[in-house]
Amino acid sequence: MDKNVMNSYVSDIAYHMKDFYKDLTFYKDGKIDLNEIENLIFLGIGGSAISPKIFTEIMNINKKVYFFSTLNGFEALPDPSTSFVIAFSYSGNTVETLRSIELIAKDRFRGIGISSGGKIVDLCKSLNWQHIAVPKGRAPRAAMPFTLSILFKLALSKGWTEYNEDDFWNDIIELSNSKNNFLPEVDFEDNVSKRIAYKLATKKNVIIWGVESISKNIAYRFKSQLEENAKQLSYYSYLPEASHNQIVPISLVDNKEEYIVLIFRIPQLESVLVSNIISTVKTFLNSEGIEVLEVFGSGKNHVLAGLDLIYSTDFVSYYLALLKGIEPEPIEPISRMKVILNDNLRKAL
């Protein structure tokens, strides 16, 4: 297994990844007209839907949050007069999201649509919703910084969070201008992303655990990145939940040397109880013959540490693809499935 294959970019996704922090400033100077609200309702599915989940996990906003989809049935939603809808579809043509917008708009909910184009543009116009265009030419999973940028701007400018807006953007800009240790030109010994990828390349089964309210959605993002970029089937859960169920089948598997558990951690946010659970679970699994690797995010607050975890592990998924001799960009089975699914959904919805 040649470590040197991780020393060059070979895909558009890799080029986009290096601009992660720069892309997060995409909407720094933007504006969204919005009266005072009490509730946020997010619409979206797949790669387009991960941004609001990560946003609500790392930013701790003072709003009640709902996730709505036509696929979830007609769950109770809050008063439209005190609520605002944000709909995500990178292509702008996701049938489930378009249908969800149509359904929720019938109840007089106001909102915005976020996409790189597509049918959602005209739909927003017909509903008198605002539309925000993000740059085209990305895989949805590589466009997350743009949609996160819009959510950050909303939270900061509307006072939904304790973070100071000027300080926040200055921190992001500083990170975008600083050299990081995840890029290909950084040697293996100094590059934590390369080292993790090299470790994963020796395993057949990857199990990823986040921590409730800290890194749960970040860990799920990594699962998706592994599956799409490295084409690596993986398994996901989060602590403490996983210590009450998933730990059972893991401890009973054959060929335990083929398994590894990754735990996504931001230690300064963990309670004493959570830290002890992680330590105990790691010790127990090690005693059962299962390797456990802790993956740490660093930063002076939840947002920056969370972004650090996302950025470093995005590179892990890319480096693992290189080690496996796989091109990260294509997701041909998804494209084929979407053609069939969209046709079926148009008939059903």
Domain that holds residue 147: 19-175
Q: Are residues 202 and 167 in the same domain?
A: no
pLDDT for res 69: 83
Which among 129, 150, 175 is the end of a domain? 175
Read off the pLDDT of residues 82-97 as tens digits, 9 standing for 90 and up. Answer: 999 999 999 999 988 9
Residue 68 lies in a domain: yes
With contact defined as beta carbons under 8 Å apart, do 42 and 88 qualify? yes
- Residue 29 DSSP code: T
Determine the residue type at 329.
E
pLDDT for res 342: 66
Torsion of CA 159, 160, 166, 172, to 10 degrees: -170
Task: Determine the Cα–Cα distance for residues 221 and 225; give it in Å rounded to an integer.
Answer: 6
Which among 154, 175, 196 is the end of a domain? 175
Q: Are residues 145 and 208 in the same domain?
A: no
Residue 54 lies in a domain: yes
pLDDT for res 1: 66
With contact defined as beta carbons under 8 Å apart, do 107 and 80 qualify? yes
Determine the residue type at 150.
I
Q: Are residues 146 and 263 in the same domain?
A: no
pLDDT for res 338: 63
Which 3 state secondary structure label does DSSP give 10?
coil
Tokens 């480096």, located at residue: 319
pLDDT for res 346: 65
Residue 53 lies in a domain: yes
Q: Are residues 197 and 263 in the same domain?
A: yes
Q: Are residues 153 and 225 in the same domain?
A: no
Question: Residue 103 phi/psi, 5° resolution?
Answer: -65, -45
Residue 12 lies in a domain: no
Could you give the number of structural domains in the chain? 2
Q: Are residues 134 and 217 in the same domain?
A: no
Residue 305 C-alpha from the chain's centroid: 14
Residue 89 lies in a domain: yes
Tokens 């089948």, located at residue: 249
Q: Are residues 215 and 160 in the same domain?
A: no
pLDDT for res 73: 58
Residue 130 lies in a domain: yes
pTM of the model: 0.92
Q: Are residues 191 and 233 in the same domain?
A: yes
Q: Are residues 29 and 147 in the same domain?
A: yes
Please report, in tens digits, the pLDDT of each residue of the chain (349 residues total): 678 888 877 788 888 888 999 999 999 999 998 999 999 999 998 888 899 999 999 999 999 999 998 776 556 899 999 999 999 999 999 988 999 999 999 999 999 999 999 999 999 999 999 999 999 988 888 899 999 999 999 999 999 999 999 999 999 999 998 888 999 999 999 999 999 999 999 999 999 999 999 999 999 999 999 999 999 999 999 999 999 999 999 999 999 999 999 999 999 999 999 999 999 999 999 999 999 999 999 999 999 999 999 999 999 999 999 999 988 875 666 667 666 666 776 666 6
CATH code at position 281: 3.40.50.10490
The sheet carrying 259-265 orders its strands as 234-239, 205-211, 259-265, 291-296
Using alpha carbons, select from 195, 215, 207, 225 the residue that is nearest to residue 281.
Answer: 207
Which 3 state secondary structure label does DSSP give 102?
helix
Which among 175, 203, 230 is the end of a domain? 175
Q: Are residues 29 and 76 in the same domain?
A: yes
Q: Are residues 110 and 32 in the same domain?
A: yes
pLDDT for res 70: 77
Residue 2 lies in a domain: no
Q: Are residues 243 and 318 in the same domain?
A: yes
